[in-house]
Structure 1
Amino acid sequence: MRIHPVEVRRWCESLGGVARTAELARVGVDRHSLRAALDAGELRRVREGVYATPDTGAEVITAVLHGGALGCANRLRAEGLWLIGCDDRVHVSMPPTGRRRPHAGCACVSHWTASTTDGGMGSLADALVQLLQCRGAEDFFVALESAMRKRRLSRSGVQRLRARVQAQHRHLVDFARWDADSGLESLLRLRFRRSGLDLAPQVRIPGVGRVDFVLIGLVVIEVDGVPGHADSPLSRHKDLVRDAIASAHGLETLRFDYALVVHEWPLVEAAILAAVDRARRRRARRVVG
């Protein structure tokens, strides 16, 4: 029985936008129906035995041409997760028995892992493991908390992921929260954990509302990852009002944006530690007085 070209495309879309001949055959697409879908422009041939819908993303197509599926940071970005940064190369999840395929302008990064795929996309868990190996603990932790907040991982999925990472990195999974508000907040919380300072996230202060962090109970830290926020006069005014009320409570407020936290961390750290020192000296004077 012939399958209409539009229906063949829908089957391919259900497989993640990329499908192999055998995968299409399992849902009843015979070679005549496949040829009709190609002729009608509902599918395109990526390489021998592999097909994609016309609107499948360029990065996915590149990964398939390379011999694998989209992986690492590219896969996580396609999921809409928070990332510290991402280079311009396509990271490809390669099966252990796979074969890297040369293709035009190839600058791909291959990740040879026990991968599972959904069409042209590697699994989310594979991508997180690859990110840890490729870019380190901070990038992994930020992406993990983003996946947890968006409920892209279940609790059992988090535990399976924990079992896959090296023992020295499992504390990152244990420390991760389900309610981290942004990647910048995840990054700060992880960094201050290493310093041993008491950093409380998402604290409500009377008259101020919820702030990103309160450090040692006396220093407010706000991080802004939204481009253009500081350029809004109304938003700027509200921030100033909040800072003034916090000051009336005896709290010093420090504000940082994405560029400062990610690219100028030594400056940010020095400013925060200086504020902590001032707060401790004020508290000590009050106790003595």
Structure 2
Amino acid sequence: MNAQNSRTTSPIESVIAALGGTVRRSVLVDRGFSDRHIRQAVQSGRIKRVCRGVYAAEGSSPQAEHLASNQAELTCFGRARQEGLWVLHAQDVPHVGTAHGRPVSGCVTHRFQGRLLLRDILRHCAQCGTELEILCVLESAVVKGKCTVAQLRAFFSRRNDARIRKIIELIDPQSMSIPETCARYQLQKAGYNVQGQAYIRGLGHLDALVDGQLGLEIDGKDYHNNEEAWKEDLRRGNVLMIQDVPVLHFRAAVAMYFPEEMLRWVRLAFETLAARHH
């Protein structure tokens, strides 16, 4: 009988690579691999034994092997980025989750029980992030359909979660990107009324409309560097002039990391609009 049973048809090294590059023996057994098959794969050099009960595929990162050998998983904003959520700043050191609660060298350790789920990752982010960082990751979880606002409220229903529940109330499910979220947050914090994805007749949607008068567009170069995008930008500019909607354009990096520059231009634009009306 083949050492690899009928529950799996993929090579063991492919299975380990698909699971992040490192895996515990129990996971391989659950996938249908016998101890004999694991031993043969190690002897042939197709996989390597990191430590007792932990195996790695070729090319696995030292960090992945370190975490696996300590029964730890990447969590917090590092894991959120891997999951495709919006992360404003990278963390200086890995934040990891463990069930055993023991420290992991070179890492910040979070505790969780059972499998590491989305709610655990979001809770770890909420423990470590600023208000804006937390808003970005929570809002992206809603925008990307990983959970609903109602589910977030249920995740953070504890008595000491009041701060996070206030952040949840700031979520706009219509946001299209992290720069839009950052711009909206900074403008609202400065006292402006902000309508995200505002509809303009004949145009479509603006990234934001500030105080019902001033349009805001966040321009990422990836979306404006081809002929079709250039043509659409020209069309939108003409429609906005005809509709008499003034618009400020900002690079994504300005909205995300240099809000004082964005706010200065917005203030100057409103001063100009006020002078025109007099």
TM-score normalised by the chain length of structure 2: 0.81
- Quote how far apart the aligned CAs of 1:223 are: 0.6
Is 1:219 matched with 2:214?
A: yes
Deviations 1:227-271 (A, max 9, x none): 355555664454344234313322211001122122321111111
Q: Would the alpha carbon gap of residues 242 and 14 (structure 1) be closer, same or farther in structure 2, given more than 3 Å must change?
A: closer
- For 1:61, the equivalent position in structure 2 comes to 65
- For 1:192, the equivalent position in structure 2 comes to 187
Gaps of 5+ in 1: 103-107
Q: Would the alpha carbon gap of residues 208 and 26 (structure 1) be closer, same or farther in structure 2, given more than 3 Å must change?
A: closer
Gaps of 5+ in 2: none
TM-score normalised by the chain length of structure 1: 0.78
Aligned residues: 273
- Quote how far apart the aligned CAs of 1:16 are: 5.6
| Contact map agreement 1:216 1:276 (CA 8 A) in 2 | no
Deviations 1:175-204 (A, max 9, x none): 323332001111122223323322111122
Give distance in 2, aligned partners of 1:51 and 1:84: 33
- For 1:105, the equivalent position in structure 2 comes to none
2:35 to 31, 36, 51: 31
- For 1:98, the equivalent position in structure 2 comes to 101
Q: Would the alpha carbon gap of residues 209 and 26 (structure 1) be closer, same or farther in structure 2, given more than 3 Å must change?
A: closer
Give distance in 2, aligned partners of 1:44 and 1:109: 24
What are the residue-to-residue correspondences of 1:49-88 with 2, within 5 Å? Answer: 49-54=53-58, 56=60, 59-65=63-69, 67-87=71-91
Give distance in 2, aligned partners of 1:259 and 1:252: 21
Q: Indicate the percent of aligned positions where both proteins have the same amino acid.
A: 23
Q: Would the alpha carbon gap of residues 195 and 45 (structure 1) be closer, same or farther in structure 2, given more than 3 Å must change?
A: same
Give distance in 2, aligned partners of 1:31 and 1:251: 69
| Partner SS for 2:169 | helix
Q: Would the alpha carbon gap of residues 25 and 231 (structure 1) be closer, same or farther in structure 2, given more than 3 Å must change?
A: closer
| Partner SS for 1:152 | coil
- Quote how far apart the aligned CAs of 1:77 are: 1.5
Is 1:150 matched with 2:154?
A: no
Give distance in 2, aligned partners of 1:61 and 1:42: 16
What is the root-mean-square deviation in Å for CA atoms of aligned residues? 3.1
User: Aligned AA for 1:192?
Assistant: L
- For 2:3, the equivalent position in structure 1 comes to 3
What are the residue-to-residue correspondences of 1:125-274 with 2, within 5 Å? Answer: 125-154=119-148, 157-163=151-157, 166-224=161-219, 226-229=220-223, 232=226, 235-236=229-230, 238-274=232-268
